[in-house]
Every structure is written in structure tokens, then in C-alpha cells.
A and B are shown apart, each in its own frame.
Chain A
Amino acid sequence: MEDDLHSFLPLSPATLHILLSLAGEDLHGYGIMQEVARQSEGKYKLGPGTLYDNLQKLIQREWVEELGRRAGDDDPRRRYYRLTLAGRRVLEAEIARLAEVVREARARLQIARPSTAKPRRV
């Protein structure tokens, strides 16, 4: 299982950000976008097209599941998404990998403030 997970790594920035945003709570699409923007301090702007393209893939891999609509929501068109157990493990594996990269980078370059991989468009 672990090997399977590692075959997906490294994650694309969009995937990483989406998984990360769902790690805290269940969100709808727009919520994910806002959360991604917040996490990246506005540097990574995820468009809806990119978001759902990734969600489609993540749902198919069963890293994310769809919860459906919520009664009483502002917009009845919204559906909510949740990180599955498998998704969480992938995310953890990726974070561990990144931490390793950061550690390695610090050792070699002695950079004071390493950050996560620079977001790039997938």
C-alpha cells in the first residue's frame, strides 16, 4: 500500500493544495479555492476549471469523496467534498517527502526559510 502511494508522488501543486485544504474540514468547491488562496497567501490562484479537473481525478482515485449538497446552504448548486483516509495518507506521504526535501535543502544550501515547493501550474 505504501508503495502504491509513493508511485503517485510527488503530487502536482494543485493536487497538493486541494488535499491540504480539505485536511482541516469538508469544503465546497469555492471553499477549497478560498482555502488554497489563504494557504498560499494569495500566490496560487486555483481556477474552477483546474479545481474540478483535479477533483475528478481525486474522486476517481478515492482520495476525495463527494458528500453531496447541504440543506440550508446559500447556493443549492454547491456540493461538499471530504478527504478520505487514502487521501490523507497520500497527503502525509507527500508532506513527509517534502519535509525530507526541505531538510536536505537546508543542509546543503543553508537556506534560512525554506518553503514548500513553489506552486506551478499543472
Chain B
Amino acid sequence: MMLRRIYRCVLRLHPPAFRSRFGDEILSIFDQAKGKLSGFHLLMDGMLSLVRQWTLRPEFWRESVSSPTPQAALDGIPSFYILSPFRPRPTAVVPGLILSIAIFSLTCVAIKYSWIQVLHIRIPEAQFEAPQWIPPNASANGVSNRTTEPVLHDQPATSSVPNAHAQTPEAASHAASNTSTPSAVATKSRKNGAVQPLPIPRSTAQKSKGNEIAPTSPESEQLAAQPLTTTAPSTFAEDTTLDAAARHRVIDGTSAIVTKYYVDAEVAQKMAIALRDHETNGDDNEATDGPTFADLLTSQMRDVSQDKYVAVIYSVVKTSENSPVPTAEEVARYTKDMKQNNCTLEKVAMLPHNIGHLKFNSFPDASICRQTAAAAMATLNHADAIIFDLRDNAGGYANMVALIATYLFDRPTHLNDFYDRSRNSTEESWTLPPVPGNRLADKPAFVLTSSTTFSAAEGFSYDLKMLKRATLVGETTSGRGHMGAPHRIDDHFTILVPSMKVINPISKTNWEGTGVEPDVKVKAADALRTAINLAEGNLQKK
């Protein structure tokens, strides 16, 4: 029945002359022959005739259709008739077709670019209204987003509610990214390859670099919620005055945490001393409200440490104790987010010359995304060269770094060490035992980087570079080799402290602050083209 309906539609698309003359008969044959000829054959025949009629038989188009008055259409179904005698010349069809395709393509391109604009401009505002959740796909392109987003996550009200809390956007953003990154990566490092999902607070993992890894602590939840509550003037009025004693308590708390956790003990000591000196000199006396004071402490510590990821954050709402382990709800949210976003895997493709191209925008938790990653690698298993596109990759879990790197080696390989200052312990990160049937272990590999490639993605690039297992093509990366977590100072002050660092077993250092230098320096936009050329060159030499 369905087939007949489709067939009738095909018939109706024929030139009117043909349709009115033979339509009935063809349909009658269709009814009779249905059992004997396959439906597919009949349909293909109809299509073929349709094409033939419109392309090869222009001489018949004008025939008949004697009256423009509507007649009973084929099989009782009404159809359209042309009232005007005008018909385009047959030769006009081709330019018309080309023109239509051109306009269609232009429209598509316009939509594509306008959509990116929308993402860049609108998303932060959207977050402002709903700090709890950000559409994950925004993250992928969010190069420019990254710097601003964190601000909005944790401090959405900064701009609109001036007095709510005094974080400068910059401080806040660093704070936010810090928060997330540190502990997240920390966790992963400890459980390389194991399952420790560190849920992402409110931004999706890929979103802002830091957040993705970030363990959501209750504090950060509250920070996020804060702008909403603080908008009522009465809420923050009571908290705005800080006397010397209150400031002293905060400085004490800050010094203690920094001294204990900050990744470099010597620098930590310097920061603690600087805080004390400023207090003694009376530099803090003007800072009588929480936000201003938090900013002041942040800048005092950064002056000494040159570490832009150290930040003190003031929150109007009381913060609760740190929770080291993500809640079930946070884990569930992350899992759902990853499922909806195909584990941030954007592209798996075989390019010409059998070059595999894999673009993913974070290193999601392997415990959730192992199958997706394995399937992607299996798809590219027969490639003669492979390109990992990390230009929009915002980092993530070390267990995924190890999982993907596993495909590039024929034996477990030492990638990295993670040093945790507060525990004074070091965890090693290794690739897993070789995957059976894997053919990529000896194939040329390329990693595409950009100035926004972040955290775990930088780790992946750096490790492969140090092991001379891949050629890095693109721009110098962000330079995030430390990780940290938020620590509660008191009910209103929180500090973000980088407390862990990556130590590469070969270079004995990492890329913190400097970024990872590519082997072939080109603009991020040109990186794929360049890598393809290199890969093709490689393959031809063989």
C-alpha cells in the first residue's frame, strides 16, 4: 500500500502531458504486475522514466494539457495545474539548478557561521540565567568561551551585581578552572585506567577546560547558586564589612592551606610570607568587603608566585565543608552528559590515502566512555597514519589519555607521573597492555594542537612528543600542567590551590606556564591540512 502511494507520487511528478495520457494505464499495470514484478523494480522503473521524461523528452512537455481547468487528478487525488501558459525553456533548467545549489550552499555556510557567533556571544548569557547547566555542545568550539565561561559559572553575578562579590572576572575564571582541574586530574592520576568519574560541576566537561575535570564540591555549587541569591540587597548587606580581626583569620587560613597544598613548597612559603607582610604593612586596611579582600589576596599571591591559577574567592552564601568525593548525582550528570555528547567525540573519519582522523574535544572518563573510544579506534585500525585532532580539546581524565595512547604502543609505556604535594606522593601513569588486533602501534601519528588545547590534552601531546611517537602540528598549547582543588577557608572564603603536577619521566618536568611546543608550528586552522600533507609525504616515501 505504501509502495503504491510512493509510486503514485512518482507518477505525479512526471510531465503533465505524459501523466494525463498514460498515468491511468501505468497505475493499472502497477496494480496487475505487483505480484509478478518486484516492487523495487517497478519503483526504479518509475524513477528512471521520471528522469528520462524530464531530461530527454522536452518535445513532449508542451503536448496536451488542453485545458487549465482542474480535472480529476490521477487516482482521485488532487494535484496542481499550471494556470499560466508560461513554461521555462528546457535549457533554463540547468542554470536554474546551479543557481539553486549555489544559494543553498551559501545559506548553509551563512547558518554555520552565524551559529558560531551565537555560541560565542549568547552562551555566557544563557549561563547567567541558568548557571546549573550549559548545553555541552557549546564547549566544542568554545575557544573564546573558555576564558570567560568559568567566570560565569562560578561568578555569574560579577558584572550585573557589582557588590555581590568582588571577584574580578579574571580571578574568578582562573579560580574556576583551577577548581576543577586539580582534583579531577589528581583523582584520575591515582586511578589510571580505573573508574573515578569526577563529575563536572555545572558546566559540562568539555565546556571549560578546568571544569570538566573538576570535582564538584559543595562550595562550588554554592558559588554558582550565589548570584541568584545575592541579587537581593539585604542578603549581602550584612556580610560586607570586614574588620582587621576577620581579615587576619582569613589570612591565617589562606596561609595554612597554601603552605600545605601548593605544589611548590618554596613558592608556597613565599606566598604565605607575602600575605603576612602586606597585612603588617596595613596594605589590607582598605579592603573592608569580602569581594575586594578576596581579590587583594589573590593578587598578592600571584605577584609572588606568578601563578595565575591561584585564587581566593569570596562567596556571600555560606560554603560547606569540602567534599572530596563526587556525589552520585554529579556522577550521573556527567554520565548522562557524556552519553548525550557521544563522549565529546566529534569526528572519526578515514581521509583519502587511508589517513585516519580522530577529533575529540575532551578526554572523558574511561570508565564511562571506554567503549566509544575503543569503537573509534577500531574504525581507524586499518589506517596507514593517524591524526589526533586536539585543537578544541579541553582536557579531562588521565585514564582516557592512557587508553587512547595504548593504541600507539606495542607494550605498556610509561607516560607520566603525577606528584601530589599534600600527600608527598607520586603516581605513575602507564598505557594499558596492547589491544589484541591493533595495527596502529607502528603507524605514523600526528597530534593537532591549538593555543586552547588544555590540561589532559596537553598531557597527551606532551607525552607522545617526549616519546617521539607523534608529530605535533599546530600552535603552542595553553600551558596547564598543574592541578588543584578548591579548599574552604571559612564560611565565605574559598581558595583554589594548584596542588598536583605532572612530571614527565623523560623531561623530568612539564608544560605548566610554557605550553607544549609543536614540532611543526602552523596556525591551528591550517594544522589539519599540514598534517595530512606530512602524512601523505611519509606514506609516499615508504
User: Which residues does A use to contact B, with CB under 8 Å?
Assistant: 28-30, 33, 45, 47-53, 55-57, 60, 75, 77-79
- Contact, CB under 8 Å: A56 / B28: no
- Contact, CB under 8 Å: B52 / A48: no
- Contact, CB under 8 Å: B22 / A78: no
Chain A CB within 8 A of B33 CB:
yes
- Contact, CB under 8 Å: A77 / B25: yes
Residues of B within 8 A of A60 (CB): 59-60
- Taking the nearest CB of chain B, how far is it from the CB of A21, in angstroms? 14
Question: What are 27 A-B contacts defined by CB distance under 8 Å?
Answer: A29-B25, A29-B26, A29-B29, A30-B29, A30-B33, A33-B33, A47-B44, A47-B45, A47-B49, A48-B29, A48-B30, A48-B46, A49-B26, A49-B45, A49-B47, A49-B50, A50-B45, A50-B49, A51-B29, A52-B22, A52-B25, A53-B52, A53-B57, A57-B57, A60-B60, A77-B28, A79-B25
Residues of B within 8 A of A33 (CB): 29, 33
- Contact, CB under 8 Å: B37 / A56: no
- Contact, CB under 8 Å: B60 / A49: no
- Contact, CB under 8 Å: B32 / A75: yes
Q: How far is the CA of A50 from the CA of B37 in the complex (A)?
A: 14
State which of B41, B42, B49, B59 has its C-beta within 8 Å of the C-beta of A52: B49
Q: Which of A45, A48, A53 has the most CB of B within 10 A?
A: A48
Query: Count of B residues near A, CB < 8 Å?
Result: 28
Asked, given contacts A29-B29, A45-B37, A75-B28, whether A55 binds B49 with beta carbons under 8 Å apart, the answer is: no
Q: How far is the CA of A78 from the CA of B25 in the complex (A)?
A: 6
Chain A CB within 8 A of B318 CB:
no
- Contact, CB under 8 Å: A48 / B45: yes
Chain A CB within 8 A of B21 CB:
yes
Residues of A within 8 A of B32 (CB): 30, 75
Question: Total number of A-B contacts with CB less than 8 angstroms?
Answer: 71
Residues of B within 8 A of A28 (CB): 25
Residues of A within 8 A of B57 (CB): 53, 56-57
- Taking the nearest CB of chain B, how far is it from the CB of A62, in angstroms? 14
User: Which residues of B (49-63) have their CB < 8 Å from a CB of A?
Assistant: 49-50, 52-53, 57, 59-60
Q: How far is the CA of A30 from the CA of B31 in the complex (A)?
A: 10
Task: Give 7 nearest A-B pairs by CB, closest first.
Answer: A47-B45, A49-B49, A77-B28, A52-B22, A48-B29, A49-B45, A77-B24
User: Which residues of B (1-47) have their CB < 8 Å from a CB of A?
Assistant: 18, 21-22, 24-33, 37, 41-42, 44-47
Asked, given contacts A53-B57, A55-B22, whether A48 binds B42 with beta carbons under 8 Å apart, the answer is: yes
Cβ-closest chain A residue relative to B22: A52
Asked, given contacts A33-B33, A47-B37, A47-B45, whether A53 binds B53 with beta carbons under 8 Å apart, the answer is: yes
- Contact, CB under 8 Å: B48 / A78: no
Q: How far is the CA of A78 from the CA of B46 in the complex (A)?
A: 18
- Taking the nearest CB of chain B, how far is it from the CB of A112, in angstroms? 33
- Taking the nearest CB of chain B, how far is it from the CB of A28, in angstroms? 8
Residues of B within 8 A of A47 (CB): 37, 41-42, 44-46, 48-49
- Contact, CB under 8 Å: B46 / A49: yes
- Contact, CB under 8 Å: B18 / A52: yes
Q: Which of A45, A56, A78 has the most CB of B within 10 A?
A: A56
Asked, given contacts A53-B49, A53-B52, whether A48 binds B60 with beta carbons under 8 Å apart, the answer is: no
Residues of A within 8 A of B59 (CB): 60
Given contacts A48-B26, A52-B25, 5 further A-B contacts (CB under 8 A): A48-B30, A48-B45, A49-B52, A50-B45, A50-B48
- Contact, CB under 8 Å: B41 / A45: yes
Asked, given contacts A49-B49, A55-B22, whether A77 binds B37 with beta carbons under 8 Å apart, the answer is: no
- Taking the nearest CB of chain A, how far is it from the CB of B295, in angstroms? 77
Cβ-closest chain B residue relative to A46: B45
- Taking the nearest CB of chain A, how far is it from the CB of B31, in angstroms? 8
- Taking the nearest CB of chain A, how far is it from the CB of B50, in angstroms? 7
- Taking the nearest CB of chain A, how far is it from the CB of B217, in angstroms? 69
Residues of B within 8 A of A29 (CB): 25-26, 28-29
Residues of A within 8 A of B28 (CB): 29-30, 75, 77-78
- Taking the nearest CB of chain B, how far is it from the CB of A27, in angstroms? 12
- Contact, CB under 8 Å: A56 / B46: no
Q: How far is the CA of A30 from the CA of B36 in the complex (A)?
A: 12
Residues of B within 8 A of A53 (CB): 18, 49, 52-53, 57
Residues of A within 8 A of B60 (CB): 56, 60
Cβ-closest chain B residue relative to A75: B28
Residues of B within 8 A of A57 (CB): 57
Residues of B within 8 A of A52 (CB): 18, 22, 25-26, 49
- Contact, CB under 8 Å: A49 / B48: yes
Q: How far is the CA of A45 from the CA of B37 in the complex (A)?
A: 9
- Taking the nearest CB of chain A, how far is it from the CB of B456, in angstroms? 58
Q: How far is the CA of A56 from the CA of B15 in the complex (A)?
A: 12
Residues of A within 8 A of B21 (CB): 56
Residues of B within 8 A of A55 (CB): 22
- Taking the nearest CB of chain A, how far is it from the CB of B345, in angstroms? 44
Residues of A within 8 A of B31 (CB): 75
Q: How far is the CA of A47 from the CA of B50 in the complex (A)?
A: 12
- Contact, CB under 8 Å: B18 / A56: yes
Q: Which of B28, B46, B57 has the most CB of A within 10 A?
A: B28
- Taking the nearest CB of chain B, how far is it from the CB of A15, in angstroms? 13
Residues of B within 8 A of A79 (CB): 25
Q: How far is the CA of A78 from the CA of B31 in the complex (A)?
A: 12
Q: How far is the CA of A30 from the CA of B25 in the complex (A)?
A: 9
